A and B are shown apart, each in its own frame.
Chain A
Amino acid sequence: MDETEIDQRVREIAKTLRCTVCQTETLWESGAPLAQQMREAIRTRVSQGQTAEEIRAYFHGRYGDYIMMAPPKEGSNWLIWVAPFLLLAVGGALLWREVKRWVTRTPALQVESPPPLDEESRRRIERELQP
């Protein structure tokens, strides 16, 4: 593995972990000393050949769910992972049904016969239709 590849891997991993001392930044973004050391620790592990999953698991084991930038997909966390799609699906289905009901209830669009045109309008339309 060359340096650029290591950098790339470190970046990918660090972007999914939270800087624990700075509230809402990722390890990658943070300038805090602890974050810097954590990036070093990730780097060491990457060059030792550990996989991204192993490294994440290491940090997760030390700091808990808090350090993961997104909640792991397990247990009650599924709630927020599926909720948007569920809402979209259920909402979409309900809306579809409702609109369909409205459409069937609405009498078919009346094609009203247009009132006879006066001469001026007729000429204007013709003029505008000309290429």
Chain B
Amino acid sequence: MTRTTQLMILVVLFALFSLLYQGLWGDPRHIPTVLVGTRAPVFEGPDVETGEPLSSERFKGKVILVNFWASWCQECKIEHDNLLRLHDEYKDHPEFVMLGINYQDEPPKARAYLQRHGSSFSHVRDVNGTLAIDFGVYGVPETFVIDKNGVIRHKWIGPIVDDVYANLTQNVLTPLLEG
């Protein structure tokens, strides 16, 4: 066996083990989004509570926060109060709109959920899952922020709690609305 072969085996082993070590700290559920920085899809569907058709076209030129949720989703319940608080905080801003998208749900259950946990903004029903696919959604909850030019500027997978809330409001929403 030559020196080079020996060295090569050592390098390969070392690389392998450092790779595996690095891999231990990755979050298997984390999947980077490709949509941030691209134009947000236009979405429309019936309003969960009234059944009236609702389209994102109506809010063109505004900052839109879109939250995907479902009545069967546990993490959505955790973030629900925060969503209401967030809406409260920004609702007076003329250029802010907040919309929920109800994902893979049955309308009666979704309505009951909103009655129970409170509702202050409109929710669109994703009738056959196409809205979720348009937004590249993996599961619920997921939250998107669309700027005035209709470009997706932020995406968060998971509930909006604690630090995530602070980051979303201070570093994303406020600059977009002020700027």
Cβ contacts under 8 Å, B135 to chain A: 62
Choose, from A36-44, A83-91, A103-111, A116-124, the stretch at the interface.
A36-44
A37, B34: Cβ atoms under 8 Å? no
From 38 to 65 in chain A, residues with beta carbon under 8 angstroms from any chain B beta carbon are 38, 40-41, 59, 61-64
Chain A 22-46: CB-based contact to B (< 8 A → 1; otherwise 0):
0000000000011001101100000
Cβ contacts under 8 Å, A41 to chain B: 129-130, 133
Chain B 96-132: CB-based contact to A (< 8 A → 1; otherwise 0):
0000000010000000000000000000000011101
A37 to B128, CA, bound (A): 7
- Interface residues in B, total, Cβ within 8 A: 17
A61 to B128, CA, bound (A): 20
- Closest B residue by C-beta to A61: B34
From 66 to 106 in chain A, residues with beta carbon under 8 angstroms from any chain B beta carbon are 66
A34, B34: Cβ atoms under 8 Å? no
A21, B128: Cβ atoms under 8 Å? no
Q: For residue A48, give the distance in angstroms from its CB to the closest CB of chain B.
A: 13
A66 to B34, CA, bound (A): 10
14 A-B pairs whose Cβ atoms sit less than 8 Å apart in the complex: A34-B104, A34-B129, A34-B132, A34-B138, A37-B128, A37-B130, A38-B129, A40-B128, A61-B34, A62-B35, A62-B135, A63-B136, A64-B136, A66-B31
Beyond A34-B129, A41-B130, 17 extra complex contacts between A and B, CB < 8 Å: A20-B31, A20-B138, A33-B104, A37-B104, A37-B129, A37-B130, A37-B132, A38-B133, A40-B129, A41-B129, A59-B133, A61-B38, A62-B35, A62-B133, A62-B134, A64-B31, A64-B32
